[in-house]
Amino acid sequence: MKLLILSFYYEPDLSACSFRSTALVKSLSEKLDEDDEIEVITTMPNRYKSLRNPALPFEENGNTKINRISLPDFKFKFFDQAIAFIIYWIGVKKLIKNQKYDLIFVTSGRFFTAFLGATIANNTKISLYLDIRDILSDGVSDVVKSKFAKFFLIPIIKSAEKFSVLSATHLNLVSEGFKDSFNFYKGKTTFFTNGIDNTFLEIDFEKKYENYQNKPKIITYAGNIGEGQGLEKIIPEAAKRLKGKYIFNIIGDGGTKRKLIKKLADLQIENVNLITPMNRNELIKYYQGSDFLFLHLNNYEAFKKVLPSKIFEYGAIKKPVIAGVDGYAQKFIKEHLEDALIFEPCNVEEFTALLENYKPQVISREKFIKNFNREAIFDEMTDRILELLYSRKVQTI
């Protein structure tokens, strides 16, 4: 049997999508026979322009083959990303020509990867397992400012989304907040979230608070700096108010980093460190030295449905989590991370008040770690994929 896996990002690239895809392929590889084959088609590392981990264009490990398509540099703009995806689309089409597959698995780190998988599945009459991580039409509706562009883009994107979802034999939604957006889908649906990487379970992150009054405290954010995070709306003003008490470490890169830099410069902020993306081993050291871990989603309607993967990473670390989130993400955190501090997105007053009134507490997250261990989640998800694969194989005999 042969599986085709499409994922725009894959390790050693740094993104939630790449970690998710890599972990799932590992789980599938271990459960398949040696004469079965997994073919992964992804891209050369491109998530962050400031950090391009080296990778081979082709790798073969046991029953897994990995093809990486090279992309030109782009600057996080919508048009640039569209060009990059067209190059990926063409590369995928070339690689799969004259190949036969028993199942296609697609994870939508970029939603049009889902559309690509759907077109292949429809053309070849192969079962499609679709893993949805975002809703592009919602994002465009909130982020794109031009009414003219929205008028033309949103109907096209919504049509592509509906086509992709209806093409799926099995649909997985990473966030239950997406459920109502895809209620037209009547097939098998699951909700396998992201999970906790074992790397974070093997590290001692505990910090003693005997000298809690010593200042300043360190607040760390690690991840994308884009429209979805809206950091320029919260960090500069909060840092100004908390000067002398808190230092912010902002680790990452993205399309709105320039906005953040400008706002920090305008307010003459000195207690914010902007740090380029780094590999996990280096990042762990920053987590170990932090007093708080920061998460923020912009105050857009689209982000009320999402479930950030960063929740699982932060949740495995026994440090206070302070999150500016709304909607399903807020509901999830309240239910599963009871000790987290939550404020309204972009609300500087509420954010700073939570910090200034914070009293140290014992943090225990054993239940969270048990429930959201990535290996356990992907073990079950793999079983569902294999059920679909084997049922398809039986039908064709």
- 147-166 and 136-143 helices, crossing angle to 10°: 170
Range 304-321 average pLDDT = 94
* Residue 171 bridge partners (DSSP): 130, 189
Beta bridge partners, 105, equal 5, 129
**Percentage of residues in the chain having pLDDT higher than 90:** 74
Same domain as 363, residue 218: yes
Domain match, 171 and 36 both: yes
- Average the pLDDT over each of 136-145, 278-287, 296-305 and give the range with the smallest value: 136-145
State which amino acid sits at residue 244: G
Distance of CA 387 to the CA centre of its chain: 26
Given CA atoms 52, 54, 57, 59 in this order, what sign does their dihedral have? Answer: negative
* Across 81-96, average pLDDT: 92
- Are residues 301 and 223 part of one domain? yes
SS3 state at 15: coil
Residue 169, pLDDT above cutoff 50: yes
Residues 172 and 235 reside in one and the same domain: no
Are 314 and 294 within 8 A, CB to CB?
no
First vs last Cα of the chain: how many Å apart? 12
Amino acid 74: pLDDT: 62
What is the share, in percent, of the chain residues with pLDDT greater than 70?
94
| Residue at token pair 């992201």 | 194
Q: What is the pLDDT of residue 397?
A: 45
Q: With bands split at pLDDT 50, 70 and 90, how would you rate the model's confidence at 149?
A: confident
Instruction: Say whether both 261 and 124 belong to one domain.
Output: no
pLDDT at residue number 392: 62
User: d(Cα 328, Cα 191) in Å, to the nearest integer?
Assistant: 13
Instruction: Clarify whether residues 115 and 161 are in a common domain.
Output: yes
Residue range 53-71: average pLDDT? Answer: 93
**pLDDT of res. 42:** 96
The answer to whether residues 159 and 306 belong to one domain is no
pLDDT digits 0-9 by tens, 211-269: 555 679 999 999 999 999 999 999 999 999 999 999 999 999 988 999 999 999 999 99
What residue type is assigned to position 362 of the chain? V
Its domain, for residue 103, covers 2-195+373-396
| Per-residue DSSP letter, 265 | H
| Calpha distance 373→164 (Å, rounded) | 29
CA dist 42 to 80, 89, 214, 321, Å?
A: 18, 10, 47, 33
Q: Is the pLDDT of residue 296 over 90?
A: yes
Residue 36: predicted pLDDT: 92
| Mean pLDDT confidence for 6-29 | 92
- DSSP conformation class of 55: -
Q: Indicate if 167 and 243 belong to the same structural domain.
A: no
Together in a domain, 174 and 309: no
Same domain, 169 and 24: yes
Length, in residues, of the chain:
397
- Say whether pLDDT at 387 is over 50: yes
Q: Are 101 and 3 in contact (CB under 8 A)?
A: yes
Question: Based on the structure, what is the number of domains in the chain?
Answer: 2
**Alpha helices (runs of H) in the chain, residue ranges in sequence order:** 16-31, 78-96, 111-124, 136-143, 147-166, 235-241, 257-266, 280-288, 310-315, 327-336, 348-356, 366-371, 374-396
Least confident of 39-43, 54-58, 271-275: 54-58
For the stretch 95-143, pLDDT in tens is 999 999 999 999 986 788 999 999 999 999 999 999 999 998 888 888 7
pLDDT of 208: 47
Contact of 234 with 346, CB cutoff 8 Å = yes
C-alpha torsion angle, residues 77, 78, 79, 80 (rounded to 10): 50
Residue recorded with tokens 């649909």? 171
**How far, in Å, CA of 311 to CA of 289, rounded?**
19
Rounded Cα gap, residues 31 and 14, in angstroms = 26
- 159 and 130, same domain (yes or no): yes
216 and 357 both lie in a single domain: yes
> pLDDT tens digit string along 345-360?
999 999 999 999 999 8
Nearest partner of 131 among 187, 87, 81, 192, judged by Cα = 192
Pairing of strands 170-173, 127-132: parallel
CATH of the domain at 387: 3.40.50.2000
